[in-house]
Amino acid sequence: MGEGGRFSRVKGAARKLANMAEGTATIGAAWQRALRDRAISPTRYLAPLVKRATGLGDPPVNSTPKRVVYARGGMKLIRFEPPVRRFRTPILFVYSLINRYYILDFLPGRSLIEFMTRQGFDVYAIDWGTPGVVEQDMTWDDLLGGFVEAAKRWVFKLSGADDLTMYGYCMGGTMALAAAALHPQGVRNFVAQATPVDFKHGGIFTTWTDPEFFDVDAMVDAYGNVPIDLMESGFSMMAPVQRISKWFEVFRRLDDRDFVTSFLAMEHWAADNVPFPGEVYRQYIRDCYQENNFFEGRMIVGGRRVDLRQIHGPLLVLVADNDTIAPPPSSEALLGAVSSTDKTLLRFPVGHIGLSTSSKGPKVIWPKIAAWLAERSEPLPPG
Amino acid sequence: MSQETAPRNLTARILRLVGYLTDPKSGPGKWWMRFEGASTGAMARLATSPRYLRFAGRGLQKMFHLHRDAVDLTEEVLHFWRVPTLGDFNEVRAQLRRAEDRLEITTTQLELALELLAKLQAELARSARGAA
């Protein structure tokens, strides 16, 4: 072998070694951060390994073009303008205080928000931000009468519309229903996606939060806001072994980049938890899970009773057959609780998150939602 | 579905091996599946057992009270010596973040207002031309 050949072999080996050292350092740094944060989620430890193995970067979640149009404290109202606007009636997404809103803007081609903008809707979403010390004492009234009402005003101002479609998801749906019942002005349509309503049928969470087992006052008094790791450990209890074993399938399918990307995106979102504002949590657990006051019309927000019968407009209830967070009977109960005459129930064979991220979304689920909305939204003249 | 060349680095090989060992089709994987099924069943029973929930609930309640007492005591001692506490730092950090947020948003809102003004101006100019 000549000098040149030997030199290139040494160069190749050195490059491999350097590459390996760089990879080890990256993984080491990621693990160090996870350990420092005392992260419970396996994602923080395993995602760096999968990224290293596949050469994939961070998944492109939340990438639909957007602009923050209003903010109060850490909360933001985000606008997603459509390429061609076909409807005057805008959509306002109200997401849960657990996890972040961008599950609605998951991956390009698998994003509910992107889909709606392509259908010609002017879309807005509330990002509740990361609650800090200031948000500890925030109440449901601050959220609904304060931020959601202000967000509605900004939506009207920017879209030029007089009414909107309120689209609530999960606990965001419960909050949006309370907002629509207390302040029905300007709510033309309501979409409740995987929204728990009758908490008597709230599944495992109703059992866990039973006042006999769970002292919500002690938790909120101790921590102010509910810490991420306490929420995380609750979710871990639901399926502890599967939280690890689902990664093994990824290990077997490392060469399937689409699968790995959507898996990493989902795990990235699931691990991106935020603390739950303390006083809002206290009232949520007590009035919803423990006493079912929300559904039975006894919940008081800002001195007023939340009465779901104040909702008169068209209502679309979206239910996931395999939902363990908002079990179907809990969501379907909404149909009998409102005064609307135009009521539609759509059920899909997916899980709680699948309504927003499943590959069935853009093909099966979302076109039906968009068609329902199109029929009930004010069209804009073409051009 | 995009199928690409299998990654060949060392990390990929190790992960693939773990994947194989837990594959339901492989020998060790069958054991893993059995363990997963059994542990899931056990956890499901535990998570809905009133006896366990009562026990865990009492433990959590004690932990919350202890945490609160410890924080109160620490803050009191530190405040006595006029030393800022973690709570004080957190408050300042939160306020700084808010200020940063507000600044960013105000800039965006100004941009928006300018855009709306420009639109209005253009509309006015159009209607003035129409009137002329």
Sort out which chain A residues have CB atoms less than 8 A from B101's CB and list them: 71, 73-74, 76, 129
- Give the pLDDT confidence score for residue A383 in this predicted structure: 65
Give the span between the Cα atoms of A237 and B56, in whole angstroms. 12
Domain that holds residue B102: 86-132
Please state, rounded to an integer, the average pLDDT across all residues of chain B: 86
The answer, yes or no, to whether ipTM is higher than 0.85 is no
* Residue in this structure with the two tokens 């057959």, named with its chain if needed: A321
Q: How far is A308 from chain B (nearest CA, A)?
A: 31
Query: Quick check: is B132 in a domain?
Result: yes
User: Cβ-count burial of A65 within 10 angstroms (0-12 exposed, 13-18 middle, 19+ buried)?
Assistant: exposed
Sort out which chain A residues have CB atoms less than 8 A from B73's CB and list them: none
pLDDT tens by residue, A181-202: 999 999 999 999 999 999 999 9
Q: Which of A318, A328, A333 is nearest to A373 (CA)?
A: A318
* Residue in this structure with the two tokens 């007590």, named with its chain if needed: A286
Give, in order, the Cα–Cα distances in Å from A115 to each of A105, A112, A264, A362: 9, 5, 21, 7
C-alpha A136, offset from chain centre = 21
Query: Quick check: is B120 in a domain?
Result: yes
Q: Which of A33, A340, A328, A25 is nearest to A195 (CA)?
A: A328
Give, in order, the Cα–Cα distances in Å from A62 to each of A95, A149, A199, A247, B108: 14, 25, 31, 23, 19
Query: Quick check: is B130 in a domain?
Result: yes
Query: Which residues share a beta bridge with A168?
Result: A94, A192
Q: Does B23 touch chain A (CB under 8 A)?
A: yes
Q: Answer for the pair A69, A77: CB distance below 8 angstroms, yes or no.
A: yes
- Give the pLDDT confidence score for residue B7 in this predicted structure: 59
Q: Write down the pTM of the prediction.
A: 0.85
Closest-CA residue of B relative to A24 is B11
CB atoms A252 and B12 under 8 Å: no
Q: Does B104 touch chain A (CB under 8 A)?
A: yes
Long-range pairs, A329-332, Cβ under 8 A, ≥24:
A329/A198, A329/A201, A330/A196, A330/A197, A330/A198, A330/A199, A330/A200, A330/A201, A330/A202, A330/A203, A331/A192, A331/A194, A331/A195, A331/A196, A331/A197
Query: Quick check: is B129 in a domain?
Result: yes
DSSP code string of B30-77? HHHHHHHHHHHHHHHHHHT-HHHHHHHHHHHHHHHHHHHHHHHHHHHH
Q: Could you give the number of structural domains in chain B?
A: 1
CB atoms B9 and A23 under 8 Å: yes
Q: What is the CATH number of domain A67-376?
A: 3.40.50.1820
Report which of residues B2 and A14 the model is more confident about. Answer: A14
pLDDT in tens, chain A (383 residues): 566 777 788 877 777 777 777 777 778 887 888 777 777 778 888 999 999 999 898 999 999 999 999 888 788 999 999 999 999 999 999 999 988 999 999 999 999 999 999 999 999 999 999 888 878 889 999 999 989 999 999 999 999 999 999 999 999 999 999 999 999 999 999 999 999 999 999 999 999 999 999 999 999 999 999 998 888 777 777 777 888 889 999 999 999 999 999 999 999 998 888 999 999 999 999 999 999 999 999 999 999 999 999 999 999 999 999 999 999 999 999 999 999 999 999 999 999 999 999 999 999 999 999 999 999 999 998 86
Query: Binning pLDDT at 50, 70 and 90, where does residue B2 land?
Result: very low
- Give the pLDDT confidence score for residue A248 in this predicted structure: 93
CB atoms A69 and B19 under 8 Å: no
Query: Quick check: is B73 in a domain?
Result: no
CB atoms A223 and B112 under 8 Å: no
Q: Show which residues of A are catalytic.
A: 170, 323, 352
Q: Answer for the pair A98, A170: CB distance below 8 angstroms, yes or no.
A: yes
Query: Quick check: is B38 in a domain?
Result: no
Evaluate if residue B63 carries a pLDDT over 80. Answer: yes
Give, in order, the Cα–Cα distances in Å from A33 to each of A26, A39, A275, A300, B52: 11, 9, 19, 42, 33
